[in-house]
Chains A and B, each alone.
Chain A
Amino acid sequence: MKINVNAKDYTLDVPDNTSLLDALRVHLNLTGTKYGCGEAACGACKVLIDGHATPSCITPVASVQHKAIITIEGLEKDGKLHPIQQAFLDEDAFQCAYCAPGMIMAAVALKEKNPKPTRQEIVEAMQGNICRCCTYPRIINAISKA
């Protein structure tokens, strides 16, 4: 099976229903995408699939064979961070930071659709991402300022 991740083609020899999360983390060694709950309830595993922030834990890898998948490792372009990555950095928006990759991917997708989201639009779009350390105020600030 072939998948395209961060603009590179990969061939995988895995069962069709293998989760995209496992394909990325174990088979492609892209461990930036995190396992959190396995039921699409926490957002730690979100990646972009054709631009949509999608939980990779419940996405069978076979279903994304002809789609463009972007992970946290693929956001930086020519040594320059994506504005959302830079904004998270500038706001120092981390405690344990395990949720950060999923938060950043969800925020990137939001900004693509809505470059100037209001606070209300931000919290609605980010409702599927849990930050157990509750760094929420800084994450909201980072997304607003990016």
Chain B
Amino acid sequence: MEGQATLNRRNFIRLSALTGGGLVLGFNYFLSSCTTEQGSGQAFDLNAFVRIDTNGKVTIMSPNPEIGQGVKTSLPMLVAEELDVDWKNVQVEQAGLDTEKYSRQVAGGSGSVRESWESFRQVGATARQMLINAAAAAWAVSPGECTTENGMVVHKTNGKKMSYGKLVESASTLEVPKDVKVKSEGSFRLIGQRIPNIDNHAIVTGQYKYGIDTKREGMLYATIIRPPAFGMTLESFDDSEAKKSAGVSQVLRIENKIAVLGRSTWEVMQAAKKIKAQWKDDGTLESSADMTQKLHELLAKAPKDKPRRKDGNIAQAFASAAKVVELDFDAPFLAHNTMEPMNFFAHVKADGAELHGPIQLPERARKRIAELLKLPEEKISVMMTRMGGGFGRRLMTDFVEEAALVSREAGNIPVNVIWSREDDMTGGFYRPMYSYKYKAAIDKDNKLIAWHHHSAGVGGSASPDSFPAGAVAHYQVDTHSYETPVSTAPWRGPTHNYIAFSEQSFMDEIAHQTGKDPVALRLELLEQAKNNPAGKVNYEPDRFAAVIRKAAEISGWGKPKAANIFQGFAAHFSFASYVAQVAEVEKQADGKVKLKKMYCVVDCGTVVNPSGAETQVEGSIIDGIGHAMYAELTLTKGKPDQTNFHAYRMIRMSEAPEVEIHFIDSKAAPTGLGEPALPPAGAALANAVFAASGVRLKNQPFIKSGLFA
């Protein structure tokens, strides 16, 4: 499930003349299969678009939604590399949703670069070849005698040169060449360079328009009152005071919610506070403490479903074990808390709709709106704005559906529905709660022979092929699914974000109980996976071992240190990338610990843009540490207890550890990077705390343990 998607190419490269002269080169590749990560969920097509004008200006369309992962910079870099143009002369434009021209317009599953690697380079190379062919025709030479140099076609021997701008018109009349070769890895000029984010200037000057900044003639702002608890429905409401409030123009009931529309965000939010609503309890109100109890009850039972993975025979292995190691873990709900709260602009008309805003899955949004409004999809336009974060929340479409309904019900007027922070934090969707039971058997030779992962939670709650699967002879993964009225969604590094914590903490416990060094134990298991694999192995043991060795090397693992410095190790494979981390904590005189530094080694294949890659990894680690240390969302009778940042603690600048990152030098195709460095971070820290204090942290947030300075 985590390997590279196979590109099955049936390319239809199309040309059309641009008004004013120029070459428009689009392409359409189809992706036959895809990852089934919870974040992406299904197979998506893929595609891109290039424009060169007669003045030589190159515009590269960026079809993927930009969520802060840097794809509006890194994907056009792939095209520019092969096109052989100076990055300084490239302009990047965000494309709207267009399933005719583009494919896989998705931000999710750490998939943008890995699934665009071949096709985006191919479109650049094809455009370049057409420009070469045009020059060769003009000079009456063979195309093989020509090459390119930064936006010029150059004859290899006679020194003649012609700019792309001069060639573009004739190039646009030529046949599109097929199967043009892309550069071989190792000969890149742009890929591998530190390229700053393409929108930086607009961002530092406050000019960049996020979805929340969208304005149109005649537009109204809207806020929505949603049920205060999961499991409540709207009975009635009194809006007489709200309607008298300054700036308010309409109050509407939209299904189970109340929308307040008016001329400004602040005014509609003030008016919403004056509405007296009566809510009905449908009898399913749950508190998170009860849910933990229910998850534990499920784990006490034998699993109903077929194991998600079964190698060997764990029952026999446990019966013969010299030692059994066990640990249980609980994971809380987490909110996504994007800095830009949910919002969307919608203008629904009788025969179509315009949608504009931050969305990770625009295609899904359009489909939902088409069903909801009974409009043909081709009558609905979707423009994606740079997102002020997503973390999985914007894979949902509820906020788009609300905006479309409000626009229609208000009389087909343009609206921008903006969620308050409280709405955003309490209005669901959350990273699901999980509970895990791990059990391992150690034989008389002190060898790990069996591993049982038993989990309960909403949805999968397991990543069944996660290491050490493949390295342990008797291995079984059992899951219980749990139904709750609380809506849940993928959250950065879905499932992995907690699996890696629990599994890597358990691995540390096994190392401790067998008296083995945590790094040596992992390397021993990877040798086993390489030489004597048990069942399917979905990772390359050598690549995995290489990141582990490198992390040990850069962190000085096992080397003498000051008496108050302790380290913890974790490594995890996800989204086809390998990550190993070492957390370094300082123990104070009073016994409390403080995280000082994180070391991280990543093998994500070729690094397209080191500047973007580093900040993704650095951010993922601090995000992983922040949530493991401080975050949880609890519910009392269906109602979220944390409503804003005063109660939901986010990591702050003073709490961010120093981070040292090393990328494995690789010529392999790029793999996921937006998520893989987050999952192991909490485990590395917990294992360092264990080394310092002997206390095993089994629940998040860690801050509740009282062990931290």
Give Cα A37 to B176, complex, Å: 52
Does A1 sit within 8 A of B, measured CB to CB? Answer: no
Q: Are B656 and A134 in contact (CB under 8 A)?
A: yes
Give Cα A37 to B341, complex, Å: 8
Q: Are A98 and B652 in contact (CB under 8 A)?
A: no
Q: Are A42 and B200 in contact (CB under 8 A)?
A: no
- A15, A27, A71: the one contacting B206 at CB < 8 Å is A71
- B204, B221, B340: the one contacting A88 at CB < 8 Å is B204
Give Cα A123 to B623, complex, Å: 17
Does A32 sit within 8 A of B, measured CB to CB? Answer: yes
Shortest CB–CB separation between residue A26 and chain B, in angstroms?
A: 4
Does B69 sit within 8 A of A, measured CB to CB? Answer: yes
- Which residues of the partner chain A approach B420 to less than 8 Å between Cβ atoms? 38
Encode A36-74 as 1/0 by CB contact (under 8 A) with B. Answer: 111101101000000000000000000000000001110
**A: interface residue count bin:** 35 or more
Shortest CB–CB separation between residue A45 and chain B, in angstroms?
A: 11
Within B378-420, the residues touching A (CB, 8 Å) are 386-389, 391, 418, 420
- Which residues of the partner chain B approach A109 to less than 8 Å between Cβ atoms? none
- B199, B203, B267, B421: the one contacting A39 at CB < 8 Å is B421
Q: Are A76 and B619 in contact (CB under 8 A)?
A: no
Q: Are A73 and B618 in contact (CB under 8 A)?
A: no
- Which residues of the partner chain B approach A92 to less than 8 Å between Cβ atoms? 194, 196-197, 200, 611-612, 615
- Which residues of the partner chain A approach B209 to less than 8 Å between Cβ atoms? 31
Encode B176-218 as 1/0 by CB contact (under 8 A) with A. Answer: 0000000000000000001011011101111111101101000
Give Cα A38 to B387, complex, Å: 19
Q: Are A18 and B645 in contact (CB under 8 A)?
A: no
- Which residues of the partner chain B approach A22 to less than 8 Å between Cβ atoms? 264-267
Q: Are B386 and A18 in contact (CB under 8 A)?
A: no
**B: interface residue count bin:** 35 or more
Does B326 sit within 8 A of A, measured CB to CB? Answer: no
Does A140 sit within 8 A of B, measured CB to CB? Answer: yes
Most buried by A among B387, B422, B619: B619
Give Cα A31 to B386, complex, Å: 14
- Which residues of the partner chain B approach A98 to less than 8 Å between Cβ atoms? 210, 338-340, 388-389
Give Cα A136 to B620, complex, Å: 11
Shortest CB–CB separation between residue A100 and chain B, in angstroms?
A: 5
Give Cα A88 to B421, complex, Å: 26
Q: Are A132 and B207 in contact (CB under 8 A)?
A: no
- B203, B421, B612, B644: the one contacting A97 at CB < 8 Å is B203
- B196, B205, B213, B650: the one contacting A73 at CB < 8 Å is B205
Q: Are B205 and A39 in contact (CB under 8 A)?
A: no
Take A32-B207, A39-B421, A73-B205 as given contacts and tell me if A132 and B338 are in contact as well, using a CB distance cutoff of 8 Å: yes
Q: Are B68 and A97 in contact (CB under 8 A)?
A: yes
Does A139 sit within 8 A of B, measured CB to CB? Answer: yes
Give Cα A25 to B343, complex, Å: 15
Q: Are A96 and B386 in contact (CB under 8 A)?
A: yes
Within A58-109, the residues touching B (CB, 8 Å) are 71-73, 75-76, 81, 85-86, 88-89, 92-101, 104
Shortest CB–CB separation between residue B583 and chain A, in angstroms?
A: 15
- A34, A41, A73, A76: the one contacting B646 at CB < 8 Å is A41
Q: Are B654 and A133 in contact (CB under 8 A)?
A: no
Shortest CB–CB separation between residue B508 and chain A, in angstroms?
A: 24
Within B428-479, the residues touching A (CB, 8 Å) are none
Take A34-B212, A38-B421 as given contacts and tell me if A134 and B197 are in contact as well, using a CB distance cutoff of 8 Å: no
Take A26-B264, A96-B340, A133-B623 as given contacts and tell me if A85 and B644 are in contact as well, using a CB distance cutoff of 8 Å: no
Does B17 sit within 8 A of A, measured CB to CB? Answer: no
- Which residues of the partner chain A approach B206 to less than 8 Å between Cβ atoms? 30-33, 71-73, 101
User: From A39, which residue of chain B is reached at the shortest CB distance?
Assistant: B644
Does B653 sit within 8 A of A, measured CB to CB? Answer: yes
Q: Are A89 and B201 in contact (CB under 8 A)?
A: yes
Give Cα A14 to B267, complex, Å: 10
Does B337 sit within 8 A of A, measured CB to CB? Answer: yes
Does A112 sit within 8 A of B, measured CB to CB? Answer: no
Within A112-140, the residues touching B (CB, 8 Å) are 122-124, 126-127, 129-140
Give Cα A89 to B200, complex, Å: 6
Q: Are B213 and A31 in contact (CB under 8 A)?
A: yes
- A21, A72, A99, A133: the one contacting B205 at CB < 8 Å is A72
Does B651 sit within 8 A of A, measured CB to CB? Answer: yes
Shortest CB–CB separation between residue A117 and chain B, in angstroms?
A: 12
Take A38-B420, A44-B339 as given contacts and tell me if A127 and B652 are in contact as well, using a CB distance cutoff of 8 Å: yes
Give Cα A71 to B294, complex, Å: 51
Q: Are B205 and A34 in contact (CB under 8 A)?
A: no
Q: Are A96 and B264 in contact (CB under 8 A)?
A: no
Does A29 sit within 8 A of B, measured CB to CB? Answer: yes
Give Cα A95 to B619, complex, Å: 9
Take A19-B266, A38-B421, A41-B645 as given contacts and tell me if A130 and B339 are in contact as well, using a CB distance cutoff of 8 Å: yes
- B196, B616, B621: the one contacting A95 at CB < 8 Å is B616
Q: Are A138 and B264 in contact (CB under 8 A)?
A: no
- Which residues of the partner chain A approach B200 to less than 8 Å between Cβ atoms? 88-89, 92, 94
Q: Are B619 and A133 in contact (CB under 8 A)?
A: yes
Take A34-B340, A92-B196, A95-B616 as given contacts and tell me if A136 and B208 are in contact as well, using a CB distance cutoff of 8 Å: no
User: From B646, which residue of chain A is reached at the shortest CB distance?
Assistant: A41
Give Cα A38 to B263, complex, Å: 18
Give Cα A73 to B205, complex, Å: 5
Most buried by B among A33, A94, A101: A94
Shortest CB–CB separation between residue B626 and chain A, in angstroms?
A: 6
Q: Are B204 and A100 in contact (CB under 8 A)?
A: yes
Give Cα A27 to B213, complex, Å: 12
Does B361 sit within 8 A of A, measured CB to CB? Answer: no
15 contacts between A and B (CB under 8 A): A19-B266, A34-B340, A38-B420, A73-B206, A81-B204, A92-B612, A94-B68, A97-B199, A97-B203, A100-B204, A127-B652, A129-B652, A131-B653, A133-B389, A134-B621
Residues of A within 8 A of B (CB): 14-15, 18-19, 21-22, 25-27, 29-39, 41-42, 44, 71-73, 75-76, 81, 85-86, 88-89, 92-101, 104, 122-124, 126-127, 129-140
Having A95-B70, A122-B653, one finds 14 other A-B pairs with CB under 8 Å, namely A32-B205, A34-B339, A39-B644, A41-B645, A86-B204, A92-B615, A94-B200, A95-B68, A96-B389, A97-B388, A124-B654, A133-B68, A134-B621, A135-B619
